[in-house]
A and B are shown apart, each in its own frame.
Chain A
Amino acid sequence: MAERKLLPRDSDDEGSLLSRLGTDSPKPRVKFGGMFCNVEGAYENKTLNFESSTSPTDGSTSPTDSSTSPTDGSTTDRLIIKGGKIVNDDQSFYADIYVEDGTIKQIGENLLVPGGVKTVDAYGHIVIPGGIDVNTSLQTSQLGMSPSDDFYHGTKAALAGGTTMIIDHVVPEPGASLLGAYDQWKDIADRGSCCDYSLHMDITRWHDGLFEEMESLVKNKGVNSFLIFMAYKDKFQSSDSQMYEMFGIIRDLGAIAQVHAENGDIIDEEQKRLLELGITGPEGHVLCHPEEVETEAVYRAITIAKQANCPLYITKVMSKSAADVIAKARKKGMVVYGEPITASLGTDGSHYWSKNWAKAAAFVMSPPLSPDPSTPDYLNSLLSCGDLQVTASGHSTFSTAQKAVGKDNFTLIPEGTNGIEERLAIVWEKAVATGKMDENEFVAVTSTNAAKLFNLYPRKGRIAVGSDADIVIWNPKETKTISAATHALTVEINIFEGMEVRGAPVVVISQGKIVLEGGKLNVTEGSGRFVPRKAYPDFIYKRIKARSKMADARGVPRGNYDGPVHDVISMTKSVPATPSSRGPQCPGKGPLGPTRNLHQSGFTLSGTQIDDHIPRRSAQRIVAPPGGRSNITSLS
């Protein structure tokens, strides 16, 4: 890398500067054929049009002006990171990085920078794109209780762990307006969040009216992902046909369908049974959410998504068999992605049987951690080989007092575990330190893949000129013990308590500002910007679009059947439900296929007839036509 040329320091001519990138950059590690192979054209043109990617409706809450206010000189906007090894998902190379105004302005050696720029020393460390945590619930209340880590505490912990962006789930009350919930969430996050954030929208109760709200969310509000619940019966759960409808809409909007995959019907029955058996402790939670119930729902979701030709994203992959189903579906060519979370990668469900109620309850979440102790290892392997693609935290914490609401009934224990802070360290410890993946793959699963899937790339998830200055300087050698005593969260139990992990962030830079240095967090409440996401992410929709073109089903052009037709006058009497439910009558009355036009006659029966609801049968009752049967029905 020593022969790298200087990039001209001409910041206003960004276009030409970027166009050089292809020739100057080191040779990318080519990963042909992979799901996440290099962006086409990534090295030629990186002009980022941020004006268009910020929310079109409210350009007034422009991100930059909020960042100008805070304190003074020490938190300057200009930074140079020296001596580190830059690690992207496709390659690693040694270079310095110059950051100004929250974006990366230059990458190279011997950069020409203005004087008085703060220098960050990264010698011996790796410099990686900040982590993106794609699944947090920092505002979702359960049983009327707010999580103990709100947007402020949650994002603070995220930054402490090297995550510089989160995507939180908006959970509207069933029946409430999606847009209303979105505004509420955005308002709270704007005031509390310390790092950039974006929002997923959860569909808690489907009805036709939601279509317009979804459309407006995608087109005007920067939301390109919707979560559907297959669990939580009578509360959030959607039926298969509702899922089919939603998947169809989501595909048409160019968004991504996420599912919380568990069979709510079975869980509901099992909960009843277990409570009847007198099991009321947290072990009941995992007993009534067996692994197969998760696997079954993943399988079903994939089947429906395949039919609807909709990209699918499975949140919280918690068990081996669920991961297997995803891996297998991918082998068959489905567009499906799986997200293991910190908890499933770092620990297992044996703790549900802990004698300490508070500890057992701290692990309660859905789908639950698998009691099989080999699960974390297995999921890490699948994550390393690309069968699973993204890691998240599923962070949603409740204090012991809040969890204790369910002390006599495990179904009332609020669900969720911590993981937002520990995510990067645990993936490093379990996957990189053990040699399952390299540092590039580490960047892919913690940041880049998420950015690609949710259309944040290359603004996020990559260290490149023009990208946001969300950077982590990572020390692979540092060892740390996770403990509730030292973590940045407010919750009093950490499910990874006592776990020793190698790898920790030394410096975390968010929006071009140093937020963690020397073990000290320096965050600003409300400095996080909402990052809108556009529809039709390339990484997903290229394939979906091609398939849509291919998937047109074609009918067979046949001669008309003009043989005898059996009499079915009694049809309406005997099985009234059948005709209406097995197929709507309207298509039969609507325009017929081209071949059928010959069949239309001018003859009509006047008035309503007993068989009006049955599609036209002009040949009825001619059981044995004069002159014998016509040849089209002869069967030899």
Chain B
Amino acid sequence: MSGQGYQGKKNIPRITSDRLLIKGAIIVNDDQSFCADIYMEDGHIKQIGENLIVPGGVKTIDAHGRMLMPGGIDVHTRFQMPDRGMTSVDDFYQGTRAALAGGTTMIIDHVVPEPGVSLLSAFEQWREWADSKSCCDYSLHVDITEWHKGVQEEMEALVKDHGVNSFLVYLAYKGVFQLADSQVYEVFSVIRDLGAIAQVHAENGDIVAEEQRRILEQGITGPEGHVLSRPEEVEAEAINRSVTVANQTNCPLYVTKVMSKSAADVIAQARKKGTVVYGEPITASLGTDGSHYWSKNWAKAAAFITSPPLSPDPTTPDYLSSLLSCGDLQVTGSAHCTFNTAQRAVGKDDFTLIPEGTNGTEERMSLIWDKCVVTGKMDENQFVAVTSTNAAKIFNLYPRKGRIAVGSDADLVLWDPDVTKIISAKSHNSNVEYNIFEGVEVRGAPLVVISQGKIVLEEGNLHTTEGCGRFVGRKPFSDYVYKRIKARSRLAELRGVPRGLYDGPVCEVSVTPKTMTPASSAKSSPAKQAVAGAQPVRNLHQSGFSLSGAQVDDNLPRRNTQRIVEPPGGRANITSLG
């Protein structure tokens, strides 16, 4: 990385001025690239153009025609993630530092409330951790780990007062985080009403639990058991299911961690049918594959453990980067959640106990550049879209983040497409002792990274300040997502058929309560609600006649004409079937 640094002056170790001028850069947004100078002040971009008039004494960086892009947004991190009393080794300081080193200037972390803990208090806890440690701007997703009415109120509070517009539900982790389909349906309905985005961790937890049991019974206890118990189909199935539920509830869906070809295919197909669904491949799935689970080195094999697992199919990274390039997948995250080998070794005799997560926040931009742009699958504008702009649009950060424009935050990356680098645990900024991309050679790396208008990476040196990261609140009803959802809501109103009243014979079902107890209890409650609700067509039907006292068929909906099996004068013409 050192060979061809920028030509700026090296007089003072670090200028902490808030004013900065970048000259001669190609500014790359997701829609176009153009040559211009850019001037920023107070953490915002103030001017873009040529021959800018700027105050004297401003620090100037000469870009020499290199690309200047909006800083990356890593939409999926789990820094400082607690797991059974252990904490992932990269906390908000180490994690965001690594992110900045790789050209990512904003992260969105996941709040994981333990079941039984309120969402709000978990959210506050994460805010506290991040505020004190984060070196770059951040925002928070909140995971729904259990479902009851109280959660709904908390979600409302989070959306309205705390700047959260995305919630993750788990279809896996049976008995811990997993929600049933009907709960997912309810959560999605609430999310849609709040204008937020539903995220899913998509794996069929029921099957996974059964497979884990089977594989442990077979005596397989090593990390390969993890991938054997979570086959690709289980991921694809869960995505298919969540797409179905999201379609029914007209809720926008965001699938985190797309790890396999078939899972990506399901998303691509759903998009073709018009579902509002987004897919997020992660650094690991784009950069490596699951063959390492069979490594003879336990520590290495365990380092790759994540859920859904990396696919053992070695063509997966290529396939996913193709789909990312053609727009079938839209956003990239890292799902950065690292545990060191001693922590992983908790599961050395039982793979189900190995804490899950891989690194990737630092490598994300370089890997995508190497896999997609260098190979010609996408151009630099698409690169900006998948690493930054799309994420900003979906999560309603745009155009404050994800774009180089006057008024946007000064989160910028000066990209060097020519530099070559070998990823290694020796040189990375993460705390973990094993890097899953160890030895991978990537072309393309950030030369200068500017976060909040300050230079944080220059000449390979990181200048981060612990705790300077700000929480960025996100408003609901993101335009990018909700325009379509709103239009569909208007269209989707269902209408009943106005019919004449059925006044033919009605069969008697007095035996019902005896034979079908569970059925009638489950099915009659909605019926009662319906009777209470407005029924314009049916009003003609209501008569003043009532049976006094409790009747044997009180649990059934009103049937004024019952028992007239063969009415005098023959059947009424409404039931004639000619």
Contacts and interface: CB of A to CB of B under 8 A. Distances in A.
A561 B353 contact: no
Interface stretch (A266-274, A461-469, A518-526): A266-274
B350 A615 contact: yes
B535 interface: yes
A123 B237 CA distance: 53
A609 interface: no
Point out which of A283, A296, A575, A583 has the most chain B C-beta atoms below 10 A from its C-beta.
A583
Contact of A623 (B213, B222, B342): B342
B558 to A, nearest CB: 6
14 contacts: A263-B181, A271-B523, A284-B496, A307-B210, A355-B499, A357-B502, A404-B506, A408-B541, A408-B558, A411-B523, A493-B577, A553-B218, A568-B84, A581-B173
B327 interface: no
B502 A561 contact: no
Contact of B240 (A279, A300, A574, A579): A300
Contact of B557 (A232, A359, A409, A632): A409
A566 B345 contact: yes
Interface in B127-144: none
Nearest to A329: B233
Nearest to B515: A144
B233 A569 contact: no
Contacts, number: 346
Nearest to B183: A265
Contacts of A402: 507
A389 interface: no
Contacts of B294: 556
Contact of A555 (B219, B245, B299, B577): B219
For the complex of A and B, list the 6 residue pairs with the smallest distance between their C-beta atoms, beginning with the closest: A581-B175, A583-B352, A570-B85, A240-B206, A265-B181, A144-B511
Contacts of B535: 278, 280
Contact of B221 (A278, A355, A554, A588): A588
Nearest to A173: B515
A588 B538 CA distance: 63
B346 interface: yes
Interface in B181-212: 181-182, 185-186, 204, 206-207, 209-212
A356 interface: yes
Interface string A291-316: 01101100110011011000000000
Interface in A206-261: 232-235, 239-241, 244-245
A34 interface: no
Given A292-B248, A411-B527, A588 B298 contact: no
B32 interface: no
A404 B240 contact: no
B224 A265 contact: no
Contacts of A115: none
Contact of B176 (A353, A577, A596): A577
A604 B84 CA distance: 25
A457 B235 CA distance: 38
B440 to A, nearest CB: 15
Interface string A148-182: 00000000000000000000000001100000000
A404 B220 contact: no
A35 interface: no
A143 B527 CA distance: 15
Contacts of A578: 84, 176
A22 interface: no
A571 B248 CA distance: 39
Contacts of A574: 82, 84-85, 114
Interface in A571-607: 571, 573-575, 577-584, 587-588, 590-594, 596
B27 interface: no
A275 interface: yes
A408 B526 contact: no
A596 B221 contact: yes
B475 interface: no
A111 interface: no
Given A234-B522, A588-B216, A563 B529 contact: no
B549 interface: no
Interface string B541-559: 1000000000000001111
Given A409-B557, A492-B577, A564-B342, A234 B216 contact: no
A399 interface: yes
A407 B211 CA distance: 46
Interface in A183-217: none
Nearest to A174: B518
Contacts of B348: 561, 565, 617, 619
Interface in B331-359: 340-346, 348-350, 352-353
Interface in A388-424: 399-402, 404-405, 407-409, 411-412
Contact of A241 (B174, B240, B495): B174
Interface residues of B, number: 115
A576 to B, nearest CB: 9
Nearest to B172: A582
A358 interface: yes
B210 A245 contact: yes
A583 B519 CA distance: 34
B518 to A, nearest CB: 5
Interface string B317-341: 0000000000000000000000011
A141 interface: yes
A635 interface: yes
A278 B535 CA distance: 5
Contact of A561 (B248, B345, B505, B509): B345
A633 interface: yes
Nearest to A303: B237
A483 to B, nearest CB: 10
A88 to B, nearest CB: 37
Interface residues of A, number: 113
A307 to B, nearest CB: 6
Nearest to B575: A358
Nearest to B506: A404
Contacts of B248: 266, 269-270, 290, 292-293
A120 B434 CA distance: 83
B137 to A, nearest CB: 30
Contact of B527 (A144, A412, A492): A412
B182 A268 contact: yes
B507 A401 contact: yes
B208 to A, nearest CB: 9
Contacts of B557: 408-409, 412
A358 B530 contact: no
Contacts of A405: 506-507, 509, 556, 559
A563 B342 contact: yes
B185 A358 contact: no
Listed residue (A143, A400, A616) with the most chain B CB atoms within 10 angstroms of its CB: A143
Contact of A581 (B83, B85, B174, B295): B174
A588 B349 CA distance: 7
Contacts of B217: 587, 590
A556 B423 CA distance: 27
Contacts of B507: 145, 399, 401-402, 404-405
A287 interface: yes
A569 B575 CA distance: 73
B514 interface: yes
A276 B526 CA distance: 7
A484 interface: yes
Given A296-B244, A593-B221, A617-B346, A566 B509 contact: no
B176 A265 contact: no
Contacts of A400: 504-505, 575
B219 A307 contact: no
A299 B262 CA distance: 13
Contacts of A569: 85
A292 B502 contact: no
B468 interface: no
A358 B237 contact: no
Given A300-B237, A635-B433, A566 B346 contact: yes
